[in-house]
Chains A and B, each alone.
Chain A
Amino acid sequence: MERSMYMRTRCGWTLGLASVLLVEGVALAQPAPAPAGSATPAASASEAATPATTPSSVPAAPTAPPPAPAAPTPSAAPAPEPSPFAPRVPPADGPPPGASAPEPASEPFAYGDFTWLNGTNRQHKALLDSPLFTGSLLLDVNYTQSKAHPIDDTVVGSTALSRDNELTLAFMGFGGDFHYEHARARLMTQFGIRSELVPRNDFSSFRGQFDLQDAFRYLSEAYGGYHWDALHGINLDGGIFMSYVGLFSYDNFENWMYLPSFTSDNTPWFFNGLRLQVFTSDKLKIEPWLINGWQTYGTFNEMPGFGYQILWRPVEVFSVLSNGYLGWDNQDAPGQFRFHSDNSAELRYYQDTSNHIFTKAAFSITGDIGGEQGDGVTVFGGQTQPQSMEGKYTCQNQTVSPTVRPCDANFLSWMIYNRFWFFDDHFAFTMGGGMMHNPSRYLVLDPTGNASPIPQPGSIQGIQYIAPSNPYWTAAGSQFDAYDYEAGIQYMPVEQVTYDLEFNHRQASVPYFAGHGGVTSPDGYITTSTPTGWRADLTKGDTRIIAALLVRF
């Protein structure tokens, strides 16, 4: 049995790496890289469509295309600045007269202006650009007012929001893209509350030593790789890179709303591993991943995670994004695999740049389906139970009785958003919402404090860990359904600044959000003793007003 597991483990990693090498081998068979100083078109192509590595383009969104030329469309957007990777004038010692130079491959997604997309940078040029480095600075400050007004100023259930009634530096990061000939790398640091909010959801870091959360929490992106001039560009990168599962970008500057719906908020923001970006044309990207797990720094069990992204933009007004994942992401459950399929479409159904009042309109729709199978759970057809049944039922592979049988573990969700742009795109109004269904709660963002299912820091210094008084129930077979709706306006005086103001309501089928009593202690401070049996105050609904200031260079 152990030998079988060992072999399977080795096979998982070996097959994954072999796949990468196979594709790499094909790429290596392509013509050699161009000489220094004359980056080829293909290079720019791949770079362009790479999230945030785009020198010319807007550093940023992994799915973000390069700045679109204004010419092809009636867009009022200014033409992009030339990219350091863009095709250049052939050198003097180029092809002899009469010989036809090879046609450079067109740059992926550069034929149109895709800055209208949700989850994509709206900027048309990178201000901090240079031949070797394109710098980037992101700043995200928010203010949240929850109707519950928790006494510990802590809100629950999001990776975008954390504190109530306080100005919060949610994210501050600086870094950029390094690019020389065919070598490439991206570094983006991460300071602010999100360096706590996001890593805390990774339980793989509790396996073993060396504190993976502390080691990586201040890096939102850190990868390097190589670019090949094959097809319309091929990149192989290794490190921590962004995930676009759930459409929205990790960088709130790129999003239509500050607080995304559950479909995005509860799905990964990053992956740790290898990715291969293959641009088969200037309209299609195929990107397989070999990663440690589902938004994890480390690996659960023995197998790695596998995934892919397919991005197709056949015309400027339409974009399709599909992500898939298969992995083994639960502690001590090597026989339990997780799959996930995330699919989005965006359509810009109106644009009139001659109309300076109402300029654009677009919508996005996203649907996810996923589940877990094995080691006591099944995707569909199993049992779910309320918490009052805790300890009175058993999840196991074989059905013995109504309360001794597999438990349901699936994730079904959708979200839809519509956005109108006004006054030459300086203002935008967005409304939307969605739903999620997640029995076994494997993608529910756990409440924190004394409602956390895992030990929390017991002192201000965080040097002691104590068991929470009221851990959130996340057992297999537990029930969870939720929905949300929201509306907001954004004021964008320049391409580098966004003011955001929005209203949001979330509702769950079970107590989940922070109520007025909070999740910390009788007066909300962690320095105050918690009475025996003290219960965190969780409620089924939360209404919030959110204001945010977003700056990006």
Chain B
Amino acid sequence: MKTSTFEKGIPMLPRLGLCLAALLGALAVAGGCGIYSQGAEGDRCNPLRSSDECNSGLHCSGYPIGISASYPITYCPENYCCPATVTASDNPYCQAGCNGGAAAICAADDGDAAACAFASCAANAADPSSCSLDAGTGDDAAVPEAGGASTSD
């Protein structure tokens, strides 16, 4: 025979209800109110979603598939939330080569001379935007193929 004031104070069913309510409330706060905030400039995005998940004024850009087909970024193998015009952004992920993307393409496919040349230029230039894009376009990198490696640290 237990003598818990807690048990005396709150019968079983209401207690269970309280517990479930607390759990659901927490989940609602976590999921519904959004503990996460994505869609800012330079954030990764899903180009194949039915709707653009980027914040107002931004588009899912980069590797030209899905939504991003209208907002390609040269030598970029991923997709990021960026302004429609890359020159309107200072975010490195919204620039040609998307902050190491060209190097990743080159590492994965050293036969892509244009991406390798751009990556080499971007790595050494004081202003990567000054590197020429003439040697290729983002579409050159759009070969759906796995392999290679890139740095991440």
Contact = CB atoms under 8 A, between A and B. Distances in A.
A184 interface: no
A143 B27 contact: yes
Contact of A533 (B19, B36, B107, B153): B107
A505 to B, nearest CB: 11
A386 interface: yes
Interface in A520-553: 522-524, 528-538, 543, 545, 547
Contacts of B66: 522-523
Contacts of A524: 46
Given A149-B38, A356-B6, A387-B152, A467 B101 contact: no
A509 to B, nearest CB: 9
B146 interface: yes
A491 B151 CA distance: 44
Given A510-B153, A532-B105, A522 B47 contact: yes
A473 B148 contact: no
A16 B74 CA distance: 61
B4 interface: yes
Contacts of B30: 145, 545
Contact of A471 (B3, B144, B149): B149
Given A491-B19, A532-B108, A545-B26, A523 B78 contact: no
B150 A533 contact: yes
B35 A145 contact: yes
A200 interface: no
A148 interface: yes
B144 A533 contact: no
A510 B30 CA distance: 26
A165 B146 contact: no
B100 A532 contact: no
B14 interface: no
B149 A516 contact: no
A501 to B, nearest CB: 5
Interface in A346-368: 356-357
Given A493-B16, A511-B152, A533-B108, A523 B48 contact: yes
Contacts of A535: 77-78, 100-101, 104, 150, 152
A523 B49 contact: yes
Contacts, number: 168
A493 B27 contact: no
A529 B49 CA distance: 15
B87 to A, nearest CB: 23
Interface in B35-92: 35-38, 43-49, 63, 65-66, 77-79
A216 interface: no
A515 interface: yes
A424 B144 CA distance: 60
A146 B36 contact: yes
A534 B63 contact: yes
A141 to B, nearest CB: 12
Nearest to A165: B31
B134 interface: no
Contacts of A543: 35
Contacts of A468: 146
Nearest to A450: B146
B101 A533 contact: yes
Interface string B106-122: 11110010010000000
B153 A386 contact: yes
A279 to B, nearest CB: 33
Contact of B46 (A151, A426, A470, A501): A151
Contact of B43 (A386, A516, A522): A516
A180 interface: no
Contacts of A423: 4-6
A522 B79 contact: yes
A469 B23 contact: no
Interface string A437-477: 00000000000001100000010000000111111110000
Contacts of B104: 470, 533-535
A386 B153 CA distance: 7
A472 B153 CA distance: 9
Contacts of B22: 491, 501
Interface in A233-281: none
Interface string B1-23: 01111110000000110010011
B77 A533 contact: yes
A390 interface: yes
A209 interface: no
Given A423-B6, A424-B7, A517 B153 contact: no
Contacts of B106: 533
B27 A522 contact: no
Contact of B31 (A145, A469, A517, A531): A145
B127 interface: no
B148 A533 contact: yes
A479 B91 CA distance: 27
B83 to A, nearest CB: 18
Interface in A464-504: 466-473, 478-479, 491, 493, 499, 501
Nearest to B9: A423
A531 B143 contact: yes
Contacts of B94: none
A517 B44 contact: yes
B151 A538 contact: no
Nearest to B119: A533
B151 A534 contact: no
Given A510-B153, A522-B78, 8 more contacts: A145-B36, A148-B36, A356-B5, A387-B152, A479-B153, A523-B66, A531-B144, A536-B152
Interface of A: 76, 143, 145-149, 151, 165, 356-357, 386-388, 390, 423-424, 426, 450-451, 458, 466-473, 478-479, 491, 493, 499, 501, 510-511, 515-518, 522-524, 528-538, 543, 545, 547
List the 6 shortest-distance A-B pairs measured between CB atoms, nearest first: A517-B44, A529-B144, A387-B153, A533-B105, A533-B104, A423-B6
